[in-house]
Chain A
Amino acid sequence: MPSTRDVVFVDGVRTPFGKSGPNGLYAETRADDLVVRVIRELLRRNPALPPERVDEVAIAATTQTGDQGLTIGRSAAVLAGLPKSVPGYAIDRMCAGAMTAVTTVAGGIAFGAHDVAVAGGVEHMGRHPMGDGVDPNPRFLSERLVDPSALVMGMTAENLHDRYPAITRERADAYAVASQDKAAKAYADEKIQPDLVEMATRSAERGWGLATADEAPRPGTTLEKLGTLKTPFRPHGRVTAGNSSGINDGATGCLVAAAGTAAELGLPARMRLVSYAFAGVDPEVMGIGPIPATERALRLAGLSIGDIGLFEINEAFAVQVLAFLDHYGIADDDPRVNPYGGAIAYGHPLAASGVRLMIQLARRFAERPDIRYGMTTMCVGLGMGGTVIWENLNEEAK
């Protein structure tokens, strides 16, 4: 049975991302309900896929308790009405959860263990604040395994500014403004809406509503305005709420399939998985994780950075994107990078974000069939990075 088969990205959708907190879009909405909506929409959008042909449902969440617990891949599959014969599991690599869900099912598909899988992620950071319920081993600190700042993501971002003095707050803020502008334009051009699935939102006080767009973007953000923001992680620091992603709620999901199965069923194959890699770095500078991950992924693919025509890099913090760009000598405003804007605008519901990157890459690939290769990459807490390289399968690509 073991084999190596081409793995393709068929389709992806996500809920609009909300701001966490009592006044957020999803303040009274369950995390598993977000996942259920995504799974059902994936099946609705792909009627050529018989539900019983889904062989696996891998759903990531960083905090796997409460409405994100109960092996959410399986429980959401049952709640979504998939046949009971379809198995599922939960997966966790913090911010790269959904990305890891995709690479894990892709590995299974390439091996021949399954043909079609749903992969995605969810994080309701309002119901599950970062670090909720964790119990770090005291040895981390007593043996100085990690720096005390390693578990506070904002502090790791400040550490990155220390390491790269050329990355100033001004550059970070300018990058953030550009992200907001690109997101606003993408919305105006209807690049985002086609892959959003609207979500009913209940408020006991206000009644039912409907989430149809991301809540976090702040179109019209200016440098001046960003300059006034506080630096909560360090006095006179550089990291602010404006040049970071927010605290968000949302879910994503995609269909991943063996290329042959997609062809057999008549499912669109929008991009082919070329290679993927994860790598570890010092946890106190987790933001540089994408660099070694990308090095490894490029090597596995036999490609160089110059072959990559599109980058979807998660904007956990502007500084971490800029560190990546500086490493590869790419300009801050290079049009290949996050053409529709990134997490600074849309938000970053941790384990959900990886598939948002893929959705946006696939959408941009369709617009630019002339581009052959693209990359989704992100940094991960506790010092990791992940990179997936994709080949554009839109017609004129070759």
Chain B
Amino acid sequence: MSLSTWRSVLLARASDEIVTQALVRDVALPYGAGTMALITLDNGFDHTRPSTFGAQGLLALNGALDGIAARTDIAAVGVTGKPFIFAAGADLKGATRLSTREEAGAIAALGHHVMRRLGELDVPSFAFVNGAALGGGLEVALHCTYRTVSSGVTAIALPECFLGLVPGWGGSQLLPRLAGPDTAVKLIIENPLAQNRMIKGPEAAALGIADVLLEPADFLEESLRWAARVLRGEVSPPRTDHTATDWEPALRRARDLVALKVRGATPAPYRALDLIELARTAGRDEGFAAENDALTELLTGEELRSGLYAFDLVQHRAKRPAGAPDKSLARKVGKVGVVGAGLMAAQLALLFARRLEVPVVLTDLDAERLDKGVGHAHAEIAKLRERGRVSADQANRLTGLITGSLDKAAFADADLVIEAVFEDLGVKQKVLAEVESVVTAECVLATNTSSLSVSEMAAGLRHPERVVGIHFFNPVAVLPLVEVIRGERTDDATLATAFALGATLRKNCVLVKDAPAFVVNRLLTRFMGEVVTAVDEGTPIEVADHALDDLGLPMTPFTLLQLVGPAVGLHVAETLRAAFPSRFEVPAGLSALVAAGKPGVYRPDLTLDPEAVALFAGGDAPSTPEQVRERVLRALAEEIRIMLDEGVVADPRDIDLCMVLGAGWPFHLGGITPYLDRTGFAEPRFLARGVASMPAA
């Protein structure tokens, strides 16, 4: 295939690509080092829309390189980006539109054809990494002979494996050769699998990805001076021949990590591992050809489609929650009350104080509990201070913001009061009534219930319209999801205040109808109920607990049970059983586990606790792993269908968003509905073909 074939294949389809232009200007290098043709990658928008490479962007860069290659009067080529952005990689929207192997192969090959030219010109090339360099953007830099990086850059990464791809425009071959297998494994495998961690400019320089670190204030000018010194032979960046070292330790480390985290659920990290290994021995042509093959296969695979879908949900839908009322209706929150002083309450108080920067007062009936709760929040602030996360002044401010009171009258001037007391409807109703008796008529009353009815909680109040559910996930500081629950009487101003609060807390809100256990807990409980019931029936725990390993979930069902605690799990199971007796079981083994006071079925060393296992004995109808797997997936598909029919959320995408953000379900499942669609458990499909799946060719 050739450039003209790729061009015709890729440009055949109508495109809305935002084209990154490759603007070329001559600059006179300092110290008489000659003329550099300096390429600026710029898609014409500001930094909120990073420059990306689709087919037209690649062709634009190719055209610029054509012009440069034809010249004999230049000493070097430079590449840099628009302010704050070097380049952010492939055009992902374009990637979702590729529908044939031919198209996938063409975009893979075109990327190589264009980018490799940067390393194969008659003159040296320099990348001046002034801002975010992600994926294909970083690969552009890797193809250059030399790299400078600004100490102000906060996002350098090869996030492909996070999405379901490999850095296949040269990255998997060039990075290990340049910076060694350890660094390659870190950037290509470990960081993407660690919630898509990114590195900053100083780390990129320390790892040898860039040759020199320069300050942002006059980054380009000093980069050009550095380039001039390289051209004059005054500086020669060291290069190490990494092929001579033993790559096996790094590769083994990566293989173990992938085995642990991915369990075969998605092919991309495995392909990436193979490519890194290949880089030690393969020449450029062989390595790049292998990258093309991997990209072609992954671009036409369903896991990537799910990954791109989930990425889009997290990037866009999470930031503009469906069904949220107009922001202007939100009330200002200048003081927050928290009823209860348990661990959850203390975590909430800290979060409110840090993000809202307003006074937060906790109340409890018990002075000892109250002191403990406030003390916990204050101790957390001290830890933040020790770790350098906040300054001494900020720590003083935060500590002063969080106070305790035995008297709910302290809520008199609060704008929002959230209860985080024991999960019992009667208790919560009583607490809210007490709060209502002291607060202003405008004060929003929120509940952090994980399963009870918000409407019932509000029913006895004078102003039920100001009650809303704001369901945080534990640990509060870490998990990004908040389920915002609209009760039957909740008014728009209250709801808008809840969404605004969530956004200020830097959480992602999803609007959920007032239905038992909302979204995440309902699905996890249904999931767990099927697994535990299978054990009750006689399936060995080790079989049932690993029957769904091939989904690559963050933990097995019994590990999750142990994390949330069997008592909490049992409570939610009972709530759901009461609401939907035909579908939710309260497994006898679970009740027995709670009665026995066991923390779970695993001992601290992660081996099975024989006493706990014994509590599940007696079943005589064991299932095979396949049967457990099928039973669980069928149950999930059924439950989601019912939830959508009931209007618990507006759209399957909200189910997926909740499972990704609240349960950590992986991108390659797309949350869950894309996986149920592609495995045939959803009948009919939840999502139209082409949404989170390969479009019809």
Q: Give CA–CA (A206, B23) in the complex, Å.
A: 6
Q: Give CA–CA (A40, B215) in the complex, Å.
A: 11
A192 to chain B, nearest CB (A): 15
Question: Across the interface, do B218 and A210 meet the contact criterion of CB distance under 8 Å?
Answer: no
Taking the complex as formed, is B28 at the interface, i.e. its CB lies under 8 A from any CB of chain A? yes
Q: Give CA–CA (A205, B28) in the complex, Å.
A: 19
Interface centre among A199, A200, A206 (most CB of B within 10 A): A200
Taking A79-B217, A206-B25, A208-B80 as contacts, is the C-beta distance between A198 and B42 under 8 angstroms?
Answer: no
Contact with A along B80-119 (1 / 0, CB 8 A): 1011000000000000000000000000000000000000
Question: Across the interface, do A81 and B215 meet the contact criterion of CB distance under 8 Å?
Answer: yes
Q: Give CA–CA (A80, B24) in the complex, Å.
A: 29
Question: Across the interface, do A40 and B25 meet the contact criterion of CB distance under 8 Å?
Answer: no
Q: How large is the interface on B (under 10, 10 to 19, 20 to 34, 35 or more residues)?
A: 20 to 34
Contact with A along B9-40 (1 / 0, CB 8 A): 00000000000000111011010000000111
List CB contacts (< 8 Å) of A70-113 with chain B: 79-81
Question: Across the interface, do B38 and A207 meet the contact criterion of CB distance under 8 Å?
Answer: yes
User: Hey, which chain A residues are within 8 Å of B215, CB to CB?
Assistant: 81
List CB contacts (< 8 Å) of B28-65 with chain A: 28, 30, 38-40, 42, 44
Question: Across the interface, do A207 and B24 meet the contact criterion of CB distance under 8 Å?
Answer: yes
User: Hey, which chain A residues are within 8 Å of B27, CB to CB?
Assistant: 208-210, 212
Question: Across the interface, do B224 and A36 meet the contact criterion of CB distance under 8 Å?
Answer: no
Interface centre among A37, A198, A203, A205 (most CB of B within 10 A): A198
List CB contacts (< 8 Å) of A180-212 with chain B: 197-200, 202-210, 212
Contact with A along B587-621 (1 / 0, CB 8 A): 00000000000000000000000000000000000
Taking the complex as formed, is B221 at the interface, i.e. its CB lies under 8 A from any CB of chain A? yes
User: Hey, which chain B residues are within 8 Å of A81, CB to CB?
Assistant: 215, 217
User: Hey, which chain A residues are within 8 Å of B44, CB to CB?
Assistant: 204
Taking A208-B25, A209-B27 as contacts, is the C-beta distance between A198 and B224 under 8 angstroms?
Answer: yes
B542 to chain A, nearest CB (A): 59
Which listed residue, A197, A199, A207, touches B40 by the CB 8 Å rule? Answer: A207
Taking A207-B40, A209-B38 as contacts, is the C-beta distance between A202 and B83 under 8 angstroms?
Answer: yes
Interface centre among B24, B80, B83, B220 (most CB of A within 10 A): B220
User: Hey, which chain B residues are within 8 Å of A80, CB to CB?
Assistant: 217
User: Hey, which chain A residues are within 8 Å of B220, CB to CB?
Assistant: 200, 208, 210
User: Hey, which chain B residues are within 8 Å of A206, CB to CB?
Assistant: 23, 25
A334 to chain B, nearest CB (A): 34
User: Hey, which chain B residues are within 8 Å of A203, CB to CB?
Assistant: 25
User: Hey, which chain A residues are within 8 Å of B28, CB to CB?
Assistant: 210, 212
Question: Across the interface, do A208 and B221 meet the contact criterion of CB distance under 8 Å?
Answer: no
Question: Across the interface, do B83 and A36 meet the contact criterion of CB distance under 8 Å?
Answer: no
Q: Give CA–CA (A81, B215) in the complex, Å.
A: 9
A259 to chain B, nearest CB (A): 30
User: Hey, which chain A residues are within 8 Å of B224, CB to CB?
Assistant: 198, 200, 210
Q: Smallest CB-CB separation from B128: which chain A residue?
A: A208
Q: Give CA–CA (A79, B152) in the complex, Å.
A: 13
Q: Smallest CB-CB separation from A81: which chain B residue?
A: B217
Q: Give CA–CA (A81, B214) in the complex, Å.
A: 13
Question: Across the interface, do B42 and A40 meet the contact criterion of CB distance under 8 Å?
Answer: no
Question: Across the interface, do A200 and B218 meet the contact criterion of CB distance under 8 Å?
Answer: yes
Taking A198-B30, A202-B83, A212-B28 as contacts, is the C-beta distance between A207 and B221 under 8 angstroms?
Answer: no
Q: Smallest CB-CB separation from A205: which chain B residue?
A: B23
User: Hey, which chain A residues are within 8 Å of B42, CB to CB?
Assistant: 204, 207
Q: Smallest CB-CB separation from A79: which chain B residue?
A: B217
Q: Give CA–CA (A197, B221) in the complex, Å.
A: 9
User: Hey, which chain B residues are within 8 Å of A79, CB to CB?
Assistant: 217
User: Hey, which chain B residues are within 8 Å of A205, CB to CB?
Assistant: 23
Q: Give CA–CA (A198, B221) in the complex, Å.
A: 7
Q: Give CA–CA (A205, B82) in the complex, Å.
A: 11
User: Hey, which chain B residues are within 8 Å of A204, CB to CB?
Assistant: 42, 44, 82
User: Hey, which chain B residues are within 8 Å of A200, CB to CB?
Assistant: 218, 220-221, 224
Q: Give CA–CA (A356, B646) in the complex, Å.
A: 76
Q: Give CA–CA (A43, B470) in the complex, Å.
A: 54
Q: Give CA–CA (A199, B218) in the complex, Å.
A: 8
Q: Beyond the given A37-B218, A202-B83, A212-B28, please list 10 additional residue pairs across the A-B interface where CB-CB is below 8 A.
A: A36-B218, A37-B217, A37-B221, A200-B218, A202-B40, A205-B23, A207-B39, A209-B38, A210-B221, A212-B27
**8 A-B pairs closest in CB distance:** A207-B40, A207-B23, A210-B27, A200-B220, A209-B25, A208-B40, A212-B28, A200-B221
Could you list 12 examples of A-B contacts with CB < 8 Å? A40-B218, A80-B217, A200-B221, A200-B224, A205-B23, A207-B23, A207-B39, A208-B25, A209-B25, A210-B220, A210-B224, A212-B30
Interface residues of B (CB under 8 A from A): 23-25, 27-28, 30, 38-40, 42, 44, 80, 82-83, 215, 217-218, 220-221, 224
Interface residues of A (CB under 8 A from B): 36-37, 40, 79-81, 197-200, 202-210, 212
